């Protein structure tokens, strides 16, 4: 068994409802390994440290535990996944300047961002894999595994927004 650290962010169907009402229930129904954040009405975030044999098992069981208590909760994001250079640097204990230098020196070999702009965003898994494979950095296996699983969860969540009539055409166009 390994220990996986991740955060799940959910929106609640009734935004006027104070998420505090769910805190005790979540703890009693399997989320006793999470710190629960309730800073905004209509939202709830759970920062898990969960033991499991694989990251997918940890994340899927955590989502199931939340859905058991709050069936209409909608997953907003599983993190860590979408990150900027500052986030990657912080996760790995680098300086932001070092990460930026690595990115700029690598040119097109650096993973393509999900969003390119003033603040570009990458999937953490793709950056970690590149650092491990191309730059021979030592990356913790559990971090790689959780980043890969979160990326898959978030991509599938977003894919649910694709118009089924366009799905095949879009896949052929982009693949």
Convert the pLDDT of each residue in 23-46 to its tens digit.
899 999 999 999 999 878 889 999
pLDDT at 156 exceeding the cut of 80: yes
Cα separation, 52 vs 3, whole angstroms: 7
**Cα–Cα distance between 169 and 165 in angstroms, integer?**
8
More reliable by pLDDT, 82 or 166: 82
> Tokens 């905004």 — which residue?
40
Helix (H) or strand (E) segment spanning residue 125? helix 124-134
Task: Convert the pLDDT of each residue in 83-139 to its tens digit.
Answer: 999 999 999 999 999 999 999 999 999 999 999 999 999 999 999 999 999 999 999
Distances (CA, A) of 148 to 11, 42, 54, 173: 23, 28, 11, 24
87 and 123 Cβ atoms separated by less than 8 Å? no
Query: What is the distance of C-alpha 26 from the center of its chain?
Result: 20
Return the residue matching tokens 């950056």.
127
Is 0.85 topped by the overall pTM?
A: yes
Rounded to the nearest integer, the mean pLDDT of the chain is 94
Q: Please tell me the distance from the alpha carbon of residue 59 to that of residue 62, in angstroms, as a whole number.
A: 5
Give the separation between CA 134 and CA 70, rounded to whole angstroms.
43
Q: How far apart are CA 126 and CA 53, in angstroms?
A: 22
User: Residues of the chain with pLDDT > 90: what percent?
Assistant: 80
């Amino acid at each position: 068994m390994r220990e996986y650290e991740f955060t799940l962010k959910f929106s609640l169907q009734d935004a006027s409802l104070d998420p505090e009402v769910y805190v005790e229930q979540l703890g009693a129904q399997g989320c006793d390994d999470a710190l629960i954040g309730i800073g905004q009405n209509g939202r709830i975030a759970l920062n898990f440290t969960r033991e499991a044999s694989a990251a997918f098992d940890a994340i899927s069981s955590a989502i199931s535990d939340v859905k058991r208590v709050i069936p209409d909760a909608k997953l907003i994001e599983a993190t860590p996944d979408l990150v900027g250079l500052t986030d990657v640097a912080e996760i790995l204990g680098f300086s932001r300047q070092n990460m930026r230098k690595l990115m700029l020196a690598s040119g097109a070999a650096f993973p393509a961002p999900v969003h390119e702009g003033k603040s570009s965003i990458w999937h953490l898994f793709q950056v970690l894999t590149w650092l491990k494979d191309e730059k021979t950095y030592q990356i913790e296996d559990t971090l790689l595994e959780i980043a890969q699983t979160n990326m898959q969860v978030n991509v599938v969540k977003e894919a649910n927004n694709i118009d089924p009539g366009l799905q095949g055409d879009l896949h052929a166009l982009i693949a």
